[in-house]
Amino acid sequence: MIPGRTPDTRERLIRAAWDLLGEGGPGAVTLRGVGARVGVSRTAPYRHFADKDALLRAVAEQAFRALGDRMRTAAREADDTPSVLRVVLLAYIDFASEHTEQYRLMFGEWVIAQKRAEGDAGGPLHTAALSLFELCAGMLAQGQREGVIRQGDPADLALLTWSTVHGLMTFALSGHLEAKERGARTEVERLVGEVVEGLMARRGN
Amino acid sequence: MIPGRTPDTRERLIRAAWDLLGEGGPGAVTLRGVGARVGVSRTAPYRHFADKDALLRAVAEQAFRALGDRMRTAAREADDTPSVLRVVLLAYIDFASEHTEQYRLMFGEWVIAQKRAEGDAGGPLHTAALSLFELCAGMLAQGQREGVIRQGDPADLALLTWSTVHGLMTFALSGHLEAKERGARTEVERLVGEVVEGLMARRGN
DNA sequence: ACCTGAACACCGTTCAAGT
DNA sequence: ACCTGAACACCGTTCAAGT
């Protein structure tokens, strides 16, 4: 009688797609496989989602939510602004490293067409991405008020910072970075430190 | 009798795949379609490539070559170092904007598994990416010697710069950026300017 | 309201056979 | 050396039919 006590089919389909994606990449996510894992027929998902992309969109939304939660939780654990920035960015790359396939779903090639299918602005996918951006911009604006982050449009700083971290993550995941040095994770961590360093206000400026 | 006078089937298959990719995205590239465009059967490509991925790898290699040529040509048109940096980065985003699908092939999700299939290091895909990186690092090192680019490991600077530009491009192409303001191209151009600004040496440092 | 099974159109890939 | 046609296993998706 309590709604949501046992996960309904819709929720279980999303979970199954999430797991299959994480285990075997995009190629491993088939409606047949998702149905089988949940214990329904291969056409059952069509009762809950318009098509395969709609199911994957729900997975991406959940990934955005999980990443946002993780960043906000990390933010609560630090007190001063430069450290909170570093901690949040590290939480970001940790999520991307642990959930590689979900991360690629959020920012990869596939998502562009999906946002258009959602109606460009206003869709949950766009809202979720915007919320992450605003979290980042808000932290930078706070730091500027405290005088520890350098001047400039906080939206520009946030976009540039996010772009750099995303770019680093992309190169790390694609192996373009890995070849240079063993331990891509440590390498990215160090470079994120440099990014934060570059955001700090300079004495007398 | 002159070898390469008329393009052979292999070359025409690559060209057809490049065109289909550009016109309709990854979904439009099918071995059947490629064969049809060239005027051979759908199984003919297997006489020239091990499988579909091998054909796409050849397309990616050509894209890397085209991007490299474009950057080097742009570099020759500018004289002083700060301007050459800006010009080369703009050539980069121009290529990415004009050949969106090919650009995604070079740095998207697909390429990771491919590099592994190539044998991680030493493969043409990895060599091509490394060559672009070294072009960027070389320009920065030259600028440091001239005293116009700030201190730091040129490899780090190159990686951070490239990551930022690639990240900006990703967000622009994915529409995450586009929503904020009309004219994503102008926006990216302005932000690339900020990136170059951040690389300049500061007086007295 | 939710699920099923059969069917359809489309893939990549293999292989025996042709020139 | 290069190409072909038939065939196979696998997709997403539709639809009439069941409870």
Span B69-121, pLDDT tens digits: 999 999 998 877 778 999 999 999 999 999 999 999 999 888 888 887 777 66
Enter the pTM of the model.
0.90
CA-to-C1' distance for A65 and D12, Å? 28
H/E element, A95: helix A81-98
Contacts 24+ apart (CB under 8 A), B150-159: B150/B199, B150/B200, B150/B201, B150/B202, B150/B205, B151/B201, B151/B205, B155/A180, B156/A191, B156/A194, B157/B199, B158/B133, B159/A168, B159/A171, B159/A177, B159/A191, B159/B133
Q: Which domains, ranges and CATH numbers included, belong to chain A?
A: 7-49 (1.10.10.60), 60-199 (1.10.357.10)
Reference B105, options B155, B162, B143, B67; nearest CA is: B67
pLDDT at B2: 36
Residue A112 confidence (pLDDT): 80
Do A112 and A118 touch, CB atoms closer than 8 A? no
- Checking each nucleotide's C1' against the CA of B42, the nearest proves to be D4
Contacts of B165 in chain A (CB under 8 A): 163, 167
Nearest nucleotide by C1' position to the B54 CA atom = C12
For the segment A128-184, what is each residue's pLDDT rounded down to a tens digit?
A: 888 999 999 999 999 999 999 999 999 999 999 999 999 999 888 877 666 555 566
Provide the β-strand partners of residue B149.
B200
**Cβ contact A130–B170 (<8 Å):** no
pLDDT in tens, chain A (205 residues): 334 334 689 999 999 999 999 999 999 999 999 999 999 999 999 999 999 999 999 999 999 999 999 999 999 988 777 788 999 999 999 999 999 999 999 998 888 888 877 776 678 888 888 899 999 999 999 999 999 999 999 999 999 999 999 999 988 887 766 655 556 678 899 999 999 999 998 754 4
Substitution target from B174, B182, B186, B195 for chain A, most A beta carbons within 10 A: B174
Cβ(B186)–Cβ(B192) below 8 Å: no
User: For every residue of chain B, which 3-state class applies, written as one string?
Assistant: CCCCCCCCHHHHHHHHHHHHHHHHCHHHCCHHHHHHHHCCCCCHHHHCCCCHHHHHHHHHHHHHHHHHHHHHHHHHCCCCHHHHHHHHHHHHHHHHHHCHHHHHHHHCCHHHHHHHHHCCCCCHHHHHHHHHHHHHHHHHHHHHHHCCECCCCHHHHHHHHHHHHHHHHHHHHHCCCCCCCCCHHHHHHHHHHHHHHHHECCCCC
Count of pairs with CB atoms under 8 A, one residue in A, one in B: 105
Dihedral in degrees, nearest 10, Cα atoms B22, B130, B127, A189: -100
